[in-house]
A and B are shown apart, each in its own frame.
Chain A
Amino acid sequence: MLAIRSELARDSGSSERVRLARELRDVSKQWSSALAPMDRVRLARNPARPQTLDYVGLLIRDFIEIHGDRRFADDPAIVAGLGYFGTRPVAIVGHQRGHSTSERLRRNFGKPHPEGYRKAARLYLLAHRFGLPLITFVDTQGAEPGVGAEERGQAEAIAANLELMARLETPVITCIIGEGGSGGALALAVANVVLIQENACYSVITPEGCAAILFRSAGPEKVDDVARVLRLSAADLKALGVVDEIVTEPAGGAHMDPQAAARELGAVLRRSLARMDRMTPQALRRSREAKFAAMGSPYLLDDCLENRRLPG
Chain B
Amino acid sequence: MAPDEKSLHDNDKSGRDSVTADPQTREDAGESSADIWVKCPACKEVAFRKEVERNLNVCTRCGFHFRLSVEQRLAVTADRGSWRELLADVAIGDPLGFIDSRPYPMRLAEARRSTGRNDAVVVGLARIVGRRVALGVMDFDFMGGSMGTVVGEKLARLFAKALHEGLPVVVFSASGGARMQEGALSLMQMAKVAAAIGRLRDARLPYISVLCDPTTGGVAASFATLGDLNLAEPGALVGFAGRRVIEQTTNRQLPDDFQRAEFLLNHGMIDAIVERRAMRSTLAQLLAMLTAGGRAPGRRGRSAKAR
27 contacts between A and B (CB under 8 A): A150-B239, A151-B267, A154-B221, A158-B222, A159-B190, A165-B191, A166-B194, A167-B195, A182-B218, A183-B1, A186-B190, A190-B191, A204-B218, A215-B101, A230-B98, A293-B195, A296-B153, A296-B192, A297-B153, A299-B93, A300-B92, A301-B90, A301-B91, A307-B86, A309-B157, A311-B156, A311-B195
Q: In the complex where A210-B180, A240-B95 touch, is A295 in contact with B152 (Cβ < 8 A)?
A: yes
Of B22-30, B196-204, B286-294, the stretch lying at the interface with chain A is B196-204
Bitwise, B1-15 to A at CB < 8 A (1) or not (0) is: 111111000000000
Which interface class (under 10, 10 to 19, 20 to 34, 35 or more) fits B?
35 or more
In the complex formed, the residue of A with least CB distance to B216 is A155
Residue B254, interface by CB 8 Å: yes
Residue B188, interface by CB 8 Å: yes
Contact of B184 with A204 in the complex, beta carbons under 8 Å: yes
Residue A229, interface by CB 8 Å: yes
Cβ of A204 to closest chain B Cβ, rounded Å: 4
Most B CB atoms within 10 A — which of A143, A156, A164, A216? Answer: A156
Q: In the complex where A152-B267, A155-B240, A163-B197 touch, is A214 in contact with B180 (Cβ < 8 A)?
A: yes
Contact of B239 with A229 in the complex, beta carbons under 8 Å: no
Q: In the complex where A289-B195, A295-B192 touch, is A308 in contact with B180 (Cβ < 8 A)?
A: no
Tell me the bound Cα distance from A20 to B303 in angstroms.
Answer: 59
Residue A221, interface by CB 8 Å: no
Residue A292, interface by CB 8 Å: yes
Residue A50, interface by CB 8 Å: no
Contact of A229 with B184 in the complex, beta carbons under 8 Å: no
Tell me the bound Cα distance from A267 to B307 in angstroms.
Answer: 34
Contact of A162 with B190 in the complex, beta carbons under 8 Å: yes
Residue A13, interface by CB 8 Å: no
Tell me the bound Cα distance from A144 to B246 in angstroms.
Answer: 9
Cβ of B119 to closest chain A Cβ, rounded Å: 10
In the complex formed, the residue of A with least CB distance to B90 is A302
Selected contact of B1 from candidates A165, A205, A230, A296, CB within 8 Å = A205
Contact of B249 with A204 in the complex, beta carbons under 8 Å: no
Residue B159, interface by CB 8 Å: yes
Q: In the complex where A146-B246, A213-B4 touch, is A296 in contact with B221 (Cβ < 8 A)?
A: no
Selected contact of B221 from candidates A151, A158, A165, A225, CB within 8 Å = A158
Residue B135, interface by CB 8 Å: no
Residue B259, interface by CB 8 Å: yes
In the complex formed, the residue of B with least CB distance to A167 is B198
Contact of A311 with B180 in the complex, beta carbons under 8 Å: no
Cβ of B209 to closest chain A Cβ, rounded Å: 10
Cβ of A257 to closest chain B Cβ, rounded Å: 28
Cβ of A246 to closest chain B Cβ, rounded Å: 14
Tell me the bound Cα distance from A216 to B7 in angstroms.
Answer: 11
Complex interface: chain A residues within 8 A of B259 (CB): 150
Main secondary structure of the interface of B (DSSP, over half): helix
Residue A147, interface by CB 8 Å: yes
Complex interface: chain A residues within 8 A of B254 (CB): 147
Complex interface: chain A residues within 8 A of B245 (CB): 145, 209
Residues of chain A whose beta carbon lies under 8 Å from any beta carbon of chain B: 142-147, 149-156, 158-160, 162-167, 182-183, 186, 189-190, 202-205, 209-210, 213-216, 225-226, 229-232, 237, 240, 242, 288-289, 292-293, 295-297, 299-304, 307-312
Q: In the complex where A150-B239, A162-B222, A289-B195 touch, is A307 in contact with B157 (Cβ < 8 A)?
A: yes
Contact of B183 with A204 in the complex, beta carbons under 8 Å: yes
11 further contact pairs, Cβ within 8 A, besides A203-B184, A296-B192: A142-B1, A153-B225, A153-B267, A183-B187, A190-B195, A213-B2, A295-B192, A301-B91, A309-B164, A311-B195, A312-B160
Complex interface: chain A residues within 8 A of B188 (CB): 186, 242, 292, 295-296
Bitwise, B100-128 to A at CB < 8 A (1) or not (0) is: 11000000000000000000000000000
Contact of B163 with A311 in the complex, beta carbons under 8 Å: yes
Contact of B241 with A149 in the complex, beta carbons under 8 Å: yes
Cβ of B122 to closest chain A Cβ, rounded Å: 14
Selected contact of B196 from candidates A214, A299, A311, CB within 8 Å = A311
Contact of A232 with B183 in the complex, beta carbons under 8 Å: yes
Residue B57, interface by CB 8 Å: no
Residue B278, interface by CB 8 Å: no
Most B CB atoms within 10 A — which of A202, A231, A297? Answer: A231
Tell me the bound Cα distance from A226 to B160 in angstroms.
Answer: 35
Contact of B149 with A296 in the complex, beta carbons under 8 Å: yes
Selected contact of A289 from candidates B199, B200, B241, B249, CB within 8 Å = B199
Contact of A237 with B184 in the complex, beta carbons under 8 Å: yes
Complex interface: chain B residues within 8 A of A210 (CB): 180
Complex interface: chain A residues within 8 A of B159 (CB): 311
